[in-house]
Amino acid sequence: MKKQNVRTLSLIVCTFTYLLVGAAVFDALESKTENQRKIVLQEIQAIVRKKYNISYEDFRILETVVLKSEPHRAGQQWKFTGAFYYATTVLTTIGYGHSTPATIGGKLFTMFYAMVGIPLGLVMFQSIGERVNKLSSVIIRAVKSSMHCRQTNASELDLICVVTTLSSLTIAGGAAAFSRYEGWSYFDSVYYCFITLTTIGFGDMVALQKDNALSKKPEYVMFALIFILFGLAIVAASLNLLVLRFVTMNTEDERRDEAQAMQALAGAVRLEGDVITANGSILSGQFGHHCTETTSLEIEETSVCSCHCGCFTSNNRNRFTAKRSPTQIKHLLPILPMHELHLPHGPVVPPPAIYPNHRASI
């Protein structure tokens, strides 16, 4: 089995195992709290219905009105500022869900807009990430040179440390700002920044959604947009170092296998027809062999007969091309020293006559 197939199968197994472990952990952490919150909400619902004498149907209508009115607390979501914020969440695949198009035209345009915008955004952030890594390499080399280090080149470990530090500072600074503007705790702000920059975008916590912030706080809107774009560029730099390194491993293995296959093909031997070897055995068909030296043999059918009868008159020729290294032909023509040769006693038999119509090859 190829190395790529083994790696792919291993990744599938590891991913599903990771999913199972995550599901078990989330079940243990959140299931009990979910049941408790459900019981509390049902008790509050019963108290409100009893206090104001509201039927179940009227309470459901009131609940729907409250939920649908929540996005309007931020101001007009579909004016230019809110629409730009929405377009940013589409292009970056964050998808908070705080505002969604209600018209058919808006939904249709969102699909086409995402088809073009998402690849464009990925390429842009990837390019920015590469530039960030390049700038980090220059800074690392300058720092090492000033410290008179023997090795001044920036290694992957150095770049990972720099990008990790930048990501941590970005999340920490953004969390401080969002904690001030939104009134969240610092931990919740860190959670929001992480969910945003990893493009998970649950939508349980969304900035710019209260106190008519989209209309009355333009500086806060600008900060939120810059934070998202700059933070995603830093995350893209991290992905460029970490994720793409593993993604390209399959491509490297495939290229290596192709190179090995080409080398094997370059050293292959194809023999067509029947071949009589030096030990008298007959090789038939096509054979492959790895050799380095090339020998061409052209054999006529008449070359196997030494008489004058001309019994083989066919002019068909079988051409053999063999590539053979010098160290691999001694099994065909063994060479012995002169003192080991057993010469026959008596008169020497003259060599057979050579006829022009007969060709023999070794």
Q: In this structure, are residues 163 and 238 in contact, taking their beta carbons and an 8 Å threshold? A: yes
CA dist., res. 360 & res. 302, Å (int): 9
Strands 317-323 and 294-300, sheet pairing:
antiparallel
User: Which residues, in sequence order, are CB contacts of 20 under 8 Å at separation 6+?
Assistant: none
pLDDT of residue 191: 96
Q: What is the mean pLDDT of residues 186-211?
A: 93
CA dist., res. 87 & res. 84, Å (int): 5
**Count of CB atoms situated within 10 Å of the CB of 360:** 11
Q: What is the mean pLDDT of residues 205-227?
A: 90
pLDDT tens sequence across 40-89: 999 999 999 999 998 989 999 999 998 888 888 888 889 998 999 999 99
CATH tag for 73-257 (out of 1.10.287.70, 1.10.3720.10, 3.90.850.10, 3.40.50.300): 1.10.287.70
- The dihedral over CA atoms of 248, 253, 257, 259, expressed in degrees to the nearest 10, equals 60
Domain spans in the chain, listed from the N-terminal domain onward: 1-66, 73-257, 274-333
CA dist., res. 193 & res. 361, Å (int): 81
Q: How many residues does the chain have?
A: 362
User: Which residues, in sequence order, are CB contacts of 115 under 8 Å at separation 6+?
Assistant: none
**Count of CB atoms situated within 10 Å of the CB of 339:** 5
pLDDT tens sequence across 285-311: 544 444 444 444 444 444 445 455 544
pLDDT category at 278 given cuts 50, 70, 90 is: low
Which of helix, strand or coil describes residue 343?
A: coil
| DSSP-derived secondary structure letter, 313 | -
Report the percent of the chain where pLDDT is more than 70: 70
pLDDT of residue 344: 55
Locate 109 and state its tokens: 């345009």
> Which of 163-172, 230-239, 292-301 has the least mean pLDDT?
292-301
Q: What is the mean pLDDT of residues 9-38?
A: 95
In 3D, which of 133, 143, 187 has the Cα closest to residue 164?
133
User: Which residues, in sequence order, are CB contacts of 125 under 8 Å at separation 6+?
Assistant: 232, 233, 235, 236
